[in-house]
Amino acid sequence: MAPVRLLVLGTGGMANTHAMNFATIPDVQLVAAVDVDLAKARAFAARHDIPNTFTSLEEALAWGEFDAVTNVTPDRAHYPTTLPLIAAGKHVMCEKPLAETYGKADEMATAAERASLVNVVNLTYRNVAQVQKARQMVLAGEIGKVRHIEASYLQSWLVSKAWGDWSTESQWLWRLSTKHGSNGVLGDVGIHILDFAGYGAATDIDHIFARLKTFEKAPGNRIGEYDLDANDSFTMTAEFTNGAMGVIHASRWATGHLNELRLRIHGDKGALEVIHRPDRSVLRACLQEDVELAVWKEIAVDPVATNYQKFIAAIQEGRGQEPNFRHAANLQKILDLAMVTELERRELTV
Ligand SMILES: NC(=O)c1ccc[n+]([C@@H]2O[C@H](COP(=O)([O-])OP(=O)(O)OC[C@H]3O[C@@H](n4cnc5c(N)ncnc54)[C@H](O)[C@@H]3O)[C@@H](O)[C@H]2O)c1
């Protein structure tokens, strides 16, 4: 296979996870790192043994010696950086959310499709083998008709300093400010939990009603240039295309949970539960005769390919890959509608 020359765009916290994962894939060469902050780009390049650094995408494009890019910039930079990359014929893996609005996400998906480039959005929890197995079991009919779905994404970084101090560090403050391109917890991890629920239960959402809330966090709800106005908890009721009802919620105030996704799928013949935590993921099932006394058993799973591996394989094999920009745009439409339902206080059709 021809090697893939990869450029890392944005060299903040999450870019380290990207660099470490890509470095383990044979035939990937990490050729350049780009960040608007030169010191950050240089430190990152030294840490991951990357030979070239740039302080703007324009300079990197003028140089041009790369095939693909992993875009790990903040949410609001995804759209203005991904479009020129596509125009230059580069394959792109982009962090979630694809953009701040459906309109922009749709434009990015259309541009990538027209250019026939590999486009993947990093919905990280597709890498959880347990959720992939749950989907296979639902599709194989093991739990019968799905009737009820419960999904939650719990984080506690507003009450814990395990990941750093949100009140002093820019990487957390931009996530709390709509002016800085954040749609709050809904935009940040809402896309993960919508994907986790829909992918795991092998269905899509067709009706939603959501409530969003921003809690007081500082005097005047402001720290320096950051207005702390982005939502930090949301609750959503949903109806799915398979007819099931569901509840989906997420919070940064989920004290006691650093980063936990839960999915419960109840069918007329059985039920599944996936719990993903930083230290361990589990799939449990209640099936067949166990339904009578509600007995749950853990299900073993095989390892799965990561989004990073799938992106590179798609480039090498010249084919499309999931989860792609179109899927992320479709999820963004639900997130946009969730904000409208908060304002209008009524259910909307997706
Ligand atoms: N998939 C996941 O599980 C996951 C986890 C964490 C973060 N993320 C996503 O990754 C992205 C980055 O998050 P982070 O925590 O690393 O943020 P961060 O603030 O730590 O890093 C972002 C970096 O991008 C740089 N940057 C900003 N604009 C740029 C531009 N136009 N060109 C080049 N560099 C630019 C900043 O200087 C900064 O170094 C976000 O979209 C976030 O939602 C995804």
User: Alpha-carbon distance 167 to 33, whole Å?
Assistant: 28
CA dihedral 247, 144, 198, 208 (to 10 degrees): -40
Residues 139 and 102 in one domain: no
Question: What residues make up the domain containing 285?
Answer: 125-304+333-349
Is 328 within the bounds of a domain?
no
Residue type, 102: Y
Q: Which amino acids bring their CB within 6 angstroms of ligand 1?
A: 9-15, 34-37, 40, 57, 72-75, 77, 81, 95-96, 122, 124, 171, 188
Residues 248 and 317 in one domain: no
Longest dimension (CA), the chain: 66
Residues 120 and 130 in one domain: no
pTM of the model: 0.96
Is 315 within the bounds of a domain?
yes
- For residue 12, which atom of ligand 1 is closest to its CA? 21
**What's the number of domains the chain is made of?**
2
Backbone angles phi, psi at 231, to 5 degrees: -60, 145
Cβ atoms within 10 Å of 216's Cβ, excluding its own: 8
For each of the chain's 350 residues, which pLDDT tens digit applies?
A: 789 999 999 999 999 999 999 999 999 999 999 999 999 999 999 999 999 999 999 999 999 999 999 999 999 999 999 999 999 999 999 999 999 999 999 999 999 999 999 999 999 999 999 999 999 999 999 999 999 999 999 999 999 999 999 999 999 999 999 999 999 999 999 999 999 999 999 999 999 999 999 999 999 999 999 999 999 999 999 999 999 999 999 999 999 999 999 999 999 999 999 999 999 999 999 999 999 999 999 999 999 999 999 999 999 999 999 999 999 999 999 999 999 999 999 999 99
